[in-house]
């Protein structure tokens, strides 16, 4: 593999770096760098800045706002964005439903939704998880029954991240209960302002509000909001989750946080501890290996379909993300459970990142996928 950038790629990197460090509001980037919570307005403003420059959805087909970039350029774009502490474009829009609509949606759905999805004029929520399905997504029980031209939806979704901001929700629903469970699922797009849709907050242990339950009671969804064919939902879900897993290996931001932990440990003297220094060195090496693996996965994704090794990115990416957050807690010491500033935010961040082992398909499920589809066990 050629690891040295060409002159063209170095120029591209410089262009991305200048854009991200000058065109995205500094106050938003400061919040990201310091681990502070972003508001909805922050996320929308950042994505609009990217979209206005054509940098929000470079991986989409060109006719829908994508860029005709090489895989390496897309990697550089992502790396420089994370290094500049720019919030990534909202994954529900850009990495999940956007590519699905481009691949499986009708012409009418593409015309109606793709542009406002890229610009974040529509905020999408994800309606996959259910209380009794756990990691076994195929066991979902939310039902959609055809009634005239409409679908009538009843059921419950849970762990809907930032669902309180959602305008629309893409859902998996059971449309045929009498066949193999994977074969009776469809994808519907549901307007969250429709009668019968209710969003209920789930209060977290720190008092925060990040996730929700979404209930559907006799919600009438127009028939043309079906994505793809009836009972094609499982195929679409696998496509979507593959893209999601590529996006949940935040190598750039994990490198930035590791460099921050290293700098803070240097300032506090902790880096002179051989055991701590060895942990830092080991993580740096593992991050480099993950970065190279991410390049291989992207380079081997054919016609927009994610490579099966995206499960490796999801698994290892979340493990390293959590390990770096633990380093910062150790640097903060007693400040991690009191006071203010970065030290006080380190423990909530560490605890919050425990969820990374579950979302996007649990790490246990990823191990099963790796064993079956990559190792052939």
Alpha helices in the chain (DSSP H): 7-22, 26-33, 40-52, 71-83, 91, 98-104, 107-119, 233-247, 251-268, 274-299, 310-332, 341-352, 363-369
188-232 per-position pLDDT tens digit:
999 999 999 999 999 887 677 889 999 999 999 999 999 999 999
d(CA 229, CA 340) in angstroms, rounded, equals 53
> Sign of the CA dihedral 367, 368, 374, 377?
positive
- Of 112, 98, 20, 18, the closest CA to residue 57 belongs to 98
Other Cβ atoms within 10 Å of 3 Cβ, number: 6
3-state helix, strand, coil in the chain (%, to 5): 55, 15, 30
- Give me the pLDDT at residue 70, please: 85
Residues classed as catalytic: 244
- Give me the pLDDT at residue 247, please: 57
262-288 per-position pLDDT tens digit:
999 999 999 999 999 999 999 999 999
Mean pLDDT by 10 residues, the chain (377 residues): 74 96 96 88 97 96 93 85 93 95 96 98 95 79 96 96 96 95 95 98 82 97 97 92 66 89 93 95 94 75 63 90 94 84 86 84 85 86
d(CA 337, CA 319) in angstroms, rounded, equals 23
- Give me the pLDDT at residue 198, please: 98
Q: What is the largest CA-CA distance in the chain?
A: 71
Answer yes or no: are the C-beta atoms of 133 and 185 closer than 8 Å: no
d(CA 354, CA 35) in angstroms, rounded, equals 16
Strands 150-157 and 197-203 turn out to be: unpaired
* Alpha-carbon dihedral angle through residues 155, 157, 158, 160, given to the nearest 10 degrees: -150
Strands 209-222 and 150-157 turn out to be: antiparallel
- Give me the pLDDT at residue 301, please: 60
Strands 124-127 and 185-191 turn out to be: unpaired
- Give me the pLDDT at residue 79, please: 84
């Amino acid at each position: 593999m050629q690891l040295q950038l060409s002159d063209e790629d170095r120029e591209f990197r410089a262009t991305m770096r200048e854009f991200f460090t000058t065109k995205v509001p500094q106050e938003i980037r400061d919040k990201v760098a310091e681990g502070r919570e972003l508001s909805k307005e922050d996320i929308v403003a950042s994505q609009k800045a990217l979209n206005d420059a054509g940098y929000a959805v470079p991986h989409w087909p060109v006719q829908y706002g994508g860029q005709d970039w090489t895989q390496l350029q897309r990697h550089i774009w992502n790396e420089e964005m994370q290094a500049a502490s720019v919030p990534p474009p909202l994954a529900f829009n850009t990495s999940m439903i956007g590519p699905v609509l481009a691949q499986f949606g009708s012409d009418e759905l593409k015309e109606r939704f793709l542009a406002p999805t890229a610009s974040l004029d529509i905020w999408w929520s994800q309606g996959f998880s259910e209380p009794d399905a756990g990691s076994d997504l195929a066991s979902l029980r939310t039902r959609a029954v055809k009634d005239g031209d409409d679908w009538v939806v009843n059921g419950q979704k849970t762990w809907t991240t930032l669902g309180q901001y959602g305008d629309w929700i893409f859902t998996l629903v059971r449309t045929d209960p009498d066949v193999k469970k994977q074969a009776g699922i469809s994808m519907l797009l549901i307007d969250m302002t429709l009668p019968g849709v209710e969003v209920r907050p789930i209060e977290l242990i720190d008092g925060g509000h990040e996730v929700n339950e979404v209930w559907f009671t006799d919600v009438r969804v127009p028939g043309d909001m079906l994505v793809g064919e009836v009972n094609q939902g499982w195929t679409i879900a696998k496509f979507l989750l593959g893209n999601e897993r590529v996006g949940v290996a935040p190598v750039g931001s994990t490198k930035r946080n590791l460099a921050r932990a290293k700098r803070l440990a240097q300032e506090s003297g902790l880096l002179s501890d051989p055991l701590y220094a060895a942990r830092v060195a080991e993580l740096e090496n593992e991050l480099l290996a993950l970065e190279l693996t991410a390049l291989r996965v992207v380079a081997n994704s054919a016609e927009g379909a994610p490579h099966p090794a995206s499960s490796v990115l999801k698994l290892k990416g979340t493990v390293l993300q959590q390990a770096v957050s633990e380093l910062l807690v150790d640097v903060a010491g007693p400040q991690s459970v009191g006071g203010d500033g970065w030290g006080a935010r380190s423990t909530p961040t560490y605890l919050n990142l425990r969820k990374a082992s579950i979302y996007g398909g649990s790490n246990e499920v990823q191990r099963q996928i790796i064993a079956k589809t990559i190792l052939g066990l």
